[in-house]
Chains A and B, each alone.
Chain A
Amino acid sequence: MKHDLKMPPDMIQLLSFIKKEFYHILRDKRTILILLVMPVIQIILFGFAITTEIKNNKIVILDPSRDIATSRIVRQLVESEYFELAGYLKSDKDIEKVFINHEAELVIVFADKFSENLMHTGKADIQIIADASDPNTAVSLFNYASGVISYYQQELMNENNVPYQITSGIRLLYNPGMKGAYNFVPGVMGMILMLICAMMTSIAIVREKETGTMEVLLVSPMRPILIIISKAVPYFILSSVNLTTTLMLSVFVLGVPVAGSLFWLVLFSVVFIFVSLSLGLLVSTITETQVAAMLISGMTLMMPVLMLSGMMFPIENMPKFLQWLSHIIPARWYIAGVRKLMIKGLGVTSVLKEFAILGGMAVILITVSLKKFKKRLE
């Protein structure tokens, strides 16, 4: 028996409670499957919307001057595996039609007298027009096209030792707000962590109330704080597993790298997990049935994550009231922070604000829910 070890009784209770929680989780095959597989499926589903269709996209060119420089750029574009030429346009009036009739995914507009301008003034303009109603594709295409153009620029520089500058401007049609593909990974991370920590923790605690076992536990010498800790630990571990799989998938499958410090990214996520756990705890203190816990965490935690965190809709475009409301959504700060740490590769100093806000939320929520956790039945 374990008790031969000289452990304090609290520790024995805690370990045995955590073991019991794992039994619950592991024996509920369907739930554990959903919890572990759902993040994978979400990442892959959204991920493939980004990674497919990037090859052989049709482009249409509007090139009034048709000079050496423009034809060289067009040739390089077409030679890349990403694009194939669908034709030339006569006037900029035809641009809209291209997209309406789905003739091409991208329109490249060269300024008049392109080569001449480039040679004489060292400056020339290209406009890349994409259909951003599918923002993920639009952004990838834009990135590829501007990559080809800057490559040409590089070549030109090497040939002539003169710094030529081609300014490529983009115009995004139909979705000026523009969400990038990379936005998606932070969003999914925020959603999954919130779902597992908050929803599952609240359900796990409320289930004991519903089956009446909470009564027995309250009447036992076990301290309420231990009950809470042992409920939180398994879901903390599960969340960490999910965090790892999500990160691995985004790096190795989607090719979204961790541009910044992995250490700070993980630490930042752990703070967010604490916020979610304490939210779940709070929900469990105000609900009596599992269904109610699920509905409340679904409606008050998940919906805002989807709608107000900037994952689906850009916050800047929301009405003022919703913008203001989004400030109290933990996921908003988490997603913003992950974007900076993971995608943009900024240092930890750039997310100090997010860190502070999430940390503050965690402290407040944990205090409130510990206060609200009842030592008795009412």
Chain B
Amino acid sequence: MSERKDYTNGPLCLSGRNLTRVFGTGAKQNVAVDHVNFDFHEGEFVSIVGESGSGKTTLSKMLLGLLNISEGEILYQGKPRDISNRKKLNEYWKGIQPIFQDPFSSYNIFHKIDAVLLDCIAMRGGKHLPYEKKVEMMTEACSFVNLKFAELTNKYPFELSGGQMQRLMIARIFLLKPKILLADEPTSMVDACSRATILDMLLNLRDETGMTIIFITHDIGLAYYISDTIYIMEHGKFVESGKADEVILNPQAAYTKRLISDVPKIHEEWDLSTVEMNNTL
């Protein structure tokens, strides 16, 4: 478990004011995100926890600028976010980058791994660097996530395992060094071993670069394990928010209590005596 710091008085990185997104009109109207307010600070590890359909992914797409906002506004570094034209949008995207849930659909299957990483270097303005320098940067990024660039070069992403692909995504973030990383359930589609590795890498990344990490998950136990701050989301609203310890150890909202009680507890609740194991062994 990471050491928790207090970011409440730190500089603001991303804030939302009455942020709302409505899908459809009339009787079919669906309010996916309903007037939410939040303040994410620089270097903070924030988790947004909620069930499927609670509006987490819609919120993340609005934060990334991939989805229009119906109402309210997003403040980026304390100022209203301006993504009115292509140039400003590209500038904003230099500051915020995602890691998606499904590593298998995150890569263009026609592009080699080199192309993915070189693209990141180009985006950081390193397009005209000598090739040796680029290789050096790519090797560094890969070793940060325990991958060997020499083994990956000239390979296609689909030749890697799911965990390796997700680690490569972190290497991509390492090269891009955005101010904010939005990780949308990055561990839900990889095995348990890779999960711990990936979480560790995210924490290392935060410690090394000081970036804000917004971690979206449905697993409140996982959120408690790594976050500084937790937001609980239900039906498009934040029902509870605060420091991880406060929220988890002293939950106020009924929904939070339910989420916490749903976490499987191996030692307390599983009665292993009833499981018959002798037949198959």
Q: Report if A and B associate in a common complex.
A: no
